[in-house]
Structure 1
Amino acid sequence: MFRNASVQILKQFVRHGTTDASFILERSINKVQLLGRVGQDPVMRQVEGRNPVTIFSMATNEMWRSGGEGVGTGADTGDVSQKTTWHRISVFKPGLRDVAYQYVKKGTRVLVEGKLDYGEYVDKNNVRRQATTIIADNIVFLSDNVRDRP
């Protein structure tokens, strides 16, 4: 077993071209897929010295049935509850950023693929706040707007 681990470490050194044991790169995954509706028209912001970013909000819904006599029996009884979760979407990729700014509109149904990003900012009252953002790598348009719903 020890020999097996040594071989794996040696393969990592060869793969990454380094002999520094503290610099072994691990593969990891940070991937998010959201399917929902856009909550506001996008805005494009640019901080001095940085590339512009398109930002919009997106809502996803979770629904479940609670209570009622038929729970666990497959019967459609009980109350339906729903929880809406809001997400902040940021688009940095130049082509996608411009397409999102031009075509994403409030009510549009979209599939967003990207990664989670956690950060902080200082609000206008000088209070430090934490923010969770989805950095979009891909956006799939599923409808033009809310009026497309049956």
Structure 2
Amino acid sequence: MSINIVTLIGRVGTDPDIKYFESGSVKCKLTLAVNRRTRDGDHTDWFNLELWGKTAQVAGDYVRKGKQIAVKGSLKFESWNDRNTGVLRSTPVILVDQLELLGSKRDTEAETMDSNPEHF
């Protein structure tokens, strides 16, 4: 038996990077900042997220830098050979299956007002 489940709640560090493929697939990349308590105080861990399909489209439409979200998915490692040294490198990526938009409706309305000067 093996288990590979990751659940994170944090704030988005970058606006979504959306790619549309000729096949009709949609891919979204995000970074997520998650605070972790330590003996020395809070520490921020950064995670790379990868979303596909409808989940990616929702992220592209509704997620922006600073937005609080919850994600559930699995951990994978992307590997490549370094161009300069030829050394095999890798980085962890969370492959997101589920995305939940968090924060109050008031937060969303405030974001809308900030981005639409006609409300002032």
List gaps (5 residues or longer) in structure 1. 1-26, 67-80
Give the 5 Å matches for 1:30-109.
Answer: 30-45=4-19, 51-64=25-38, 81-92=41-52, 94-109=53-68
Relative distance call for 1:123 and 1:36 in structure 2 (3 A) is: same
2:89 — aligned with what? 129
Shift of 1:50: 9.1
Question: What's the secondary structure of 2:4's corresponding residue?
Answer: coil
Q: CA deviation at 1:45?
A: 3.0
Q: What's the offset of the Cα at 1:125?
A: 4.4
Q: Which consecutive residues of structure 2, in runs of 5 or more, have no partner in the other structure?
A: 112-120
- In the other structure, the counterpart of 1:13 is none
Return the index of the structure with the highest Cα Rg.
1
Secondary structure in structure 2 of the residue aligned to 1:102: helix
Work out whether residues 32 and 48 of structure 2, in 8 Å CA contact, stay in contact via their aligned partners in 1: yes
- Would the alpha carbon gap of residues 28 and 88 (structure 1) be closer, same or farther in structure 2, given more than 3 Å must change? same
Greater strand proportion: 2
Secondary structure at 2:33's aligned position in 1?
strand
* Structure 1 letter corresponding to 2:94: I
Identical pairs, percent: 31
Equivalent residues of 2:26, 2:57 under 8 A apart: no
State how many pairs are aligned.
Answer: 106
Give the SS at the match of 1:61.
Answer: strand
Kindly indicate whether the alpha-carbon contact (under 8 Å) linking 1:109 and 1:142 is maintained by their aligned counterparts in 2. yes
Shift of 1:101: 1.2
TM-score (norm 1): 0.60
Q: Could you tell me how far apart the structure 2 residues matched to 1:49 and 1:140 are?
A: 26
Instruction: Supply the distance in 2 between the matched residues of 1:33 and 1:49 (Cα, whole angstroms).
Output: 29
1:7-55 deviation digits (Å, cap 9, x = unpaired): xxxxxxxxxxxxxxxxxxxx42210000110000010135787944100
SS at match of 1:96: helix
Closer, same or farther: CA 125–106 of 1 in aligned 2, 3 Å: farther
Q: For the structure 1 residues 124 and 109, does the alpha-carbon distance in structure 2 shift closer, same or farther, using more than 3 Å as the test?
A: farther
User: Which residue is equivalent to 1:119?
Assistant: 78
- Corresponding residue number in structure 2 for 1:73: none
Residue 113 of structure 1: how far off its partner (Å): 0.3
